[in-house]
Amino acid sequence: MIDREELIAIALRAGASHAGILETPAIEFHEDFRKACEKNFCRKYDTNWMGPPAVGPIAELRRRVLAFAEGMLFQSTHPVQGNFDMKGIEAAARAHDAVFRELVRALRARYPAEAILPLGAGCCSVCGRCAYLDGEPCRYPDLAASSVEAYGMNVIALQKRAGLPYYFGKTIVCFVGLILYAPASGAPASSGSGTGSSSR
């Protein structure tokens, strides 16, 4: 069984700025977020196994989340020069992904028998070119990870539920990740992304 306090300690050692625990039934899911994805402002829509539409409809993703009883939300914060410092924001996103990957690695090393569902920030970037574009299965299903945004979650509401700060000013950018754990009673849960294992 994963210990809450140890889980938070692992997150902080991995480089997280803050971390808190929340129960999965309190998580809000919004179809409107998926509609925003479909407008393709990020230019990543329909290009990745871990992003929409390949990751699945919101209703299915909600079922995956509710197969777990709890989650740990963590943040990493990074200095930038302002809202238009795109290079700084991109560097911060890479730094956050490194924190996320180290946290998942450390957690799986400490609790190898425990099922978890890790969700990061932004599109999965394990591969330079996702196998989805070539109609092939995910190359690294144990490393691939979807995001809280792709799952239709309200990030600000998540932070409030976990008791974390959510505004750091214009010169600090904050990214979040969510590690779901503790299978819910009567609900089978499997470790990993749960998607991208078959060709389209």
Q: Is residue 190's pLDDT more than 60?
A: no
Across the range 9-36, mean pLDDT stands at 94
Backbone torsions φ then ψ of 99, nearest 5 degrees: -65, -45
Q: What is the pLDDT of residues 53-75, one digit of tens each?
A: 999 999 999 999 999 999 999 99
State the pLDDT at residue 199.
Answer: 46
pLDDT above 70 covers a percentage of the chain that reads: 92
CA distance 119 to 149: 9
Q: What is the pLDDT of residues 88-111, one digit of tens each?
A: 999 999 999 999 999 999 999 999
**Residue pair 45/52 in contact by the 8 Å Cβ criterion:** yes
* pTM: predicted TM-score of the whole model, two decimal places: 0.90
136 to each of 58, 67, 72, 199, how far by Cα in Å?
A: 23, 27, 32, 5
Supply the DSSP string of the chain, one letter for each residue. Answer: ---HHHHHHHHHHHT-SEEEEEEGGG--B-HHHHHHHHTTTTS-TTS-TTSTTTT--HHHHHHHHHTEEEEEEEEEEEE-SSTT-HHHHHHHHHHHHHHHHHHHHHHHHH-TTS--EEEBSSS--SSSS-GGGGT---S-TTT---BTTTTTB-HHHHHHHTT------TTEEEEEEEEEEEEPTT----SS-----S--
Lowest mean pLDDT of 30-44, 87-101, 114-128, name the range. Answer: 30-44
CA distance 53 to 178: 20
Domain limits of the chain? 4-182
